[in-house]
Structure 1
Amino acid sequence: MVKKSLLVSAAVMVALTSACSNGSKQEAKSDPGTAPQQSQQTQQPAQPAVSKDPVELVLYSTAATSEEEVKQKYSDPIQKQFPNIKIKYIKKAAGTNIDELVAAGQQIDIYYESVNFFNTVTTYQLGYDMTDLIKKHNIDVGAFEPTMIDYAKAMSKNGGIYGLPVFTQNVILFYNKDIFDKFGVPYPKNDMTWDDLQELAKKLNRNDGGKQYLGFASSPSHTLRANQYSLTFLDPKTDKATINTAEKWKQIYQTYYVTPSADPGFKKTMVEALKNKLPYKDPFLKDRNLAMIAYLSELDWAASGSEGMNWDIAALPTFKDLPGVGSSAYPFYWGVTAQSKHKDEAMEVIKFLTDKDYQTKQARAGTMTSLKDDAIKKQLGLDSKYKDKNLSAIFYNKYAPMPVKSNYEGDAQKAFEDATHEAALGNTDLNTLFRKIEEGANKAVDAVKTKK
């Protein structure tokens, strides 16, 4: 989590607030992939001129994406599209954390991150309202999933827009078909409710030949942050914990963590093998005694440790009072920074990455599009090694709304997340546990505020 306490030197502050743009301009080549959107903007001025002079754009993310992935997915396609633009990627590591780079005066032209993007760019004064750039470069924000754009506008200052979603993820259900086959239990389906899943999980919580099998678990951090009721840890107006004011928190904890762990064998495994923690990646990928896990729709994750395992996916189960609603989206936003001296070039790069042609290619390779275009969604994974998986699961549910969040949301997360394990063990009733969450979250926020 990005630290919010940072004393920036006057020199650095000047660097952060300067925003000059290139003077030498030539007309850029139009992008055929965006033609359907641009046809609706015939009254817009001609494509903006962008310098053909050599330009180096510094790309950074707190996501610590591997250099190989950045090269294959971003740098090489960008270089092919814009031969004069060189992407210099700085990978997050010791010495290159965001606070260290900003304090050292390192210029960053393009920054990307998941939903914490807006907090980071605001904290480190990298946020830049791209509204005018978006208009100038003829980018149709109506082409994106509305919930992602609504969130971007709500989280940017003064109704601006600091970032555009380039790709996204959501929470889905992964399952080990071998375990289901072993016990003759039918596979999960896309249209399950949480009650349906709990019944499946009960049939898979069993000890066989001395090996304890576990029915279902979830990634607490992702299921909490992208929960289906769009609850936030903090009230964005008061920065106070919502655990005792938003009534649906009890249903979330009960459904995601308490009920699935009610089996005695499940609890015994938590205590004896998992150090009082809920099952997570290792029981699914390595030990292979966890039948189902709710996790982000990152298919490479499942493949990373599943050699020889027959796995597949299904849509996240839904609540009866929210039919057809899955998790909220988990988009990665890209933004031109306030300090960039090459804002037009950086904007053209982001435009290229959100263009229909690029988005289609990435979707076919297995990356979820941030566009609302159903034709692109239907091509998800067709050129990937996952084309035989149940890829319809990923877009089966509609997104839950992305709620406005406090800038201290990340600081409150630990109190909420730590409590999921306690809730699953069942040694403390939820009312008592929720008071503990409230106290811990509020103290964490107050501690950060006092350091500012």
Structure 2
Amino acid sequence: MVNRIKRKHGKRKDKDLVKLLLAAAAVAALIPACSNAPGKADLSKAADLSAPAELVFYAASSSMTPELFEEKIAGPVRTKYPQYTLKYIPPGTDLTGLITSGTVPDVLWLSLSEMRKHLLQLRLQYDLTELITKNKYDLNRFDPAAVQTIRNVSGDGKIFGLPDSFNPMVLFYNKDVFDRFGVPYPTNGMTWDGAYELARKLTRSDSGVSYRGMGMFYRLVFNGNQFSLPLIDASTAKPLASSTPNWKRLLDNTKRFYEIEGNMAGFKTGSDGNSELNSFLTDRNMAMIVSPLSSYNREGFQKLNWDMVAAPTFPELPKVGFQSEPRVYFITGGKYKEQAFQAVAHLLSDEVQIKNNKDGQLTSLKNEEVRKTFGQQTPALSGKNTSAVYYNQFAPTPAFNPNYSTDPATILAKEFNEVLAGKQDVNSVLRSTDEKIAKAIEEEKAAAK
């Protein structure tokens, strides 16, 4: 998710910070109309949307290959607006260097975790409110949690982008393990208590094989938690883990699954939960795992007899799932902002979203006719319980502080390993998490001076 601070490479980090500051200065010079710049965009003069324009797109995710960019973005836009040329900036490009050389992306396709580094720290954010009003664009087309999430993380109710797709947390299960022991499959609407009872039944040894009832990608369980709890106060940058009671509730809930006798057989210490997903796929002795929907694309799923259900929920939060973690089209305040808005609006049309949704890219639209097409043209999802993906409501993502690149969920997950290893209790880990988050923020402040 958000890039971690490279503490062992202080000099490199200082150089990176200098590059970020230079890039931010370049943006301020090149895009005076950005929402954080002194002036406001002048949209009183109508842009000539029929004239040729080169729109620069940047994607931070390695999943956006040149081929996928052509299929999912460039192709649809070119078909609708042949006067536009789309320039593709691939993942891994030195974006700060690109900006300082004079090329500023018009559109960035980012997750919220990528937003901090690639949008906010480079001061590329632009409030779309005026463009939305001018174009009479209906935000009610989207899942309300996605729009609220974008407003929350933008601050002051601003909206810096429009949501494209979701990657919700779901519960995957290995049908062969359930069949082996004659245990009924999990269902949509299950609570954490229900999942715990299933995990207890399925954690056992049979014919020399240790079977595990439940694993979790717990960094993401914490990061997208169902209580919408932040680890850092958005306004004060104060760590919140030990002072927020429900953080203990979340860690205790995760911990109890690993305390089931035998459920840590073969567990790989030092992980953030990613190795649990690998174990689910390769060892094939784990009955269930809570992990992002996109996990089904990993190598190994095609060899597994699997299905999925909605993620378990807390009784006090019925049908409230994890946070949405949307992929968002962020539009900057450059020369072609109106053309970029027009292109993005087409990419978010029912027509384009239906195609993407059928191909397994979960739409952010709330239109039930669009939603029910999910996975229809995705072989890996054929015969699967695709109703799981929208069964729960998304929990809203809390606001975060845009000034720091510290990834608090990674820090918490690393500390949580001390709980799983029996070296620390939950309260101690919450305190140590706060201490390490505070230290990381202080290091960033010092480096910025």
TM tier, shorter chain? 0.7 to 0.9
Residue 420 of structure 2 is matched in structure 1 by 424
Gaps of 5+ in 1: 22-47
- Closer/same/farther in 2, CA of residues 10 and 281 from structure 1, 3 Å limit: closer
Residue 214 of structure 1 is matched in structure 2 by 212
Measured in 1, the distance between the counterparts of 2:105 and 2:400 equals 25
- Closer/same/farther in 2, CA of residues 98 and 171 from structure 1, 3 Å limit: same
**Match 1:175 to one of 173, 176, 194:** 173
- Closer/same/farther in 2, CA of residues 157 and 393 from structure 1, 3 Å limit: closer
**Match 2:301 to one of 295, 301, 306:** 306
What amino acid maps onto 1:198 in structure 2? Answer: Y
**Match 2:111 to one of 106, 110, 114:** 114
Q: Deviations over 1:189-239 (max 9, x none)?
A: 102110111111112222333332221111123211211111011111221
Trace 1:246-257 onto structure 2 (pairs within 5 A): 246-256=244-254
Aligned-residue offset at 1:346: 0.8
Measured in 2, the distance between the counterparts of 1:68 and 1:138 equals 33
Residue 381 of structure 1 is matched in structure 2 by 375
User: CA RMSD of the aligned region, Å?
Assistant: 2.5
1:394 aligns to 2:389 (yes or no): yes
Measured in 1, the distance between the counterparts of 2:264 and 2:421 equals 6
Residue 315 of structure 2 is matched in structure 1 by 320
What amino acid maps onto 1:329 in structure 2? Answer: S
Residue 187 of structure 2 is matched in structure 1 by 189
Measured in 2, the distance between the counterparts of 1:9 and 1:431 equals 38
1:5 aligns to 2:3 (yes or no): no
Q: What SS does structure 2 have at the residue aligned with 1:116?
A: helix
Measured in 2, the distance between the counterparts of 1:415 and 1:299 equals 22
Residue 39 of structure 1 is matched in structure 2 by none
**Match 1:235 to one of 233, 236, 242:** 233
Measured in 2, the distance between the counterparts of 1:67 and 1:228 equals 35
- Closer/same/farther in 2, CA of residues 10 and 67 from structure 1, 3 Å limit: closer
- Closer/same/farther in 2, CA of residues 76 and 445 from structure 1, 3 Å limit: same
1:226 aligns to 2:221 (yes or no): no
Would you say the 8 A contact 1:8–1:103 is kept in 2? no
1:363 aligns to 2:362 (yes or no): no
Residue 433 of structure 2 is matched in structure 1 by 437
1:89 aligns to 2:88 (yes or no): yes
Residue 153 of structure 1 is matched in structure 2 by 151
Would you say the 8 A contact 2:408–2:437 is kept in 1? yes
Q: Tell me which moved more, 364-373 or 170-179.
A: 364-373
Measured in 1, the distance between the counterparts of 2:162 and 2:297 equals 25
Q: What SS does structure 1 have at the residue aligned with 2:303?
A: coil
Aligned-residue offset at 1:11: 8.5
- Closer/same/farther in 2, CA of residues 427 and 266 from structure 1, 3 Å limit: farther
Residue 292 of structure 2 is matched in structure 1 by 296
- Closer/same/farther in 2, CA of residues 322 and 189 from structure 1, 3 Å limit: same
Q: What SS does structure 2 have at the residue aligned with 1:63?
A: coil
- State, as a whole percentage, how many aligned pairs show the same letter: 31
Aligned-residue offset at 1:434: 1.5
- Closer/same/farther in 2, CA of residues 268 and 306 from structure 1, 3 Å limit: closer
- Closer/same/farther in 2, CA of residues 283 and 150 from structure 1, 3 Å limit: same
What amino acid maps onto 2:409 in structure 1? Answer: Q
Measured in 2, the distance between the counterparts of 1:50 and 1:332 equals 29
1:269 aligns to 2:266 (yes or no): yes
Q: Deviations over 1:59-89 (max 9, x none)?
A: 1122222223222222222222222223222
Report the TM-score, using the length of structure 1 for normalisation: 0.86
What amino acid maps onto 1:18 in structure 2? Answer: L
What amino acid maps onto 1:67 in structure 2? Answer: P
Measured in 2, the distance between the counterparts of 1:8 and 1:179 equals 50
Aligned-residue offset at 1:379: 2.3
- Closer/same/farther in 2, CA of residues 317 and 98 from structure 1, 3 Å limit: same
Aligned-residue offset at 1:10: 6.4
Measured in 1, the distance between the counterparts of 2:20 and 2:266 equals 48
Report the TM-score, using the length of structure 2 for normalisation: 0.86
Measured in 2, the distance between the counterparts of 1:268 and 1:396 equals 32
Residue 36 of structure 2 is matched in structure 1 by none
**Match 2:410 to one of 405, 410, 414:** 414
What amino acid maps onto 2:207 in structure 1? Answer: G
Residue 75 of structure 2 is matched in structure 1 by 76
Measured in 2, the distance between the counterparts of 1:299 and 1:415 equals 22
Q: Tell me which moved more, 281-290 or 2-11.
A: 2-11
Trace 1:198-213 onto structure 2 (pairs within 5 A): 198-213=196-211
Aligned-residue offset at 1:165: 0.6
Aligned-residue offset at 1:187: 0.8
Residue 164 of structure 1 is matched in structure 2 by 162
- Closer/same/farther in 2, CA of residues 300 and 138 from structure 1, 3 Å limit: farther
Would you say the 8 A contact 1:283–1:290 is kept in 2? yes
Measured in 2, the distance between the counterparts of 1:410 and 1:113 equals 18
Q: Tell me which moved more, 63-72 or 98-107.
A: 98-107
- Closer/same/farther in 2, CA of residues 50 and 353 from structure 1, 3 Å limit: farther
Measured in 2, the distance between the counterparts of 1:286 and 1:180 equals 17
Aligned-residue offset at 1:384: 2.6
Residue 331 of structure 1 is matched in structure 2 by 326
Measured in 2, the distance between the counterparts of 1:148 and 1:342 equals 25
Q: Tell me which moved more, 415-424 or 323-332.
A: 415-424
Q: Deviations over 1:355-382 (max 9, x none)?
A: 1222222222222221222222222222
Residue 43 of structure 2 is matched in structure 1 by none
Would you say the 8 A contact 2:406–2:441 is kept in 1? no
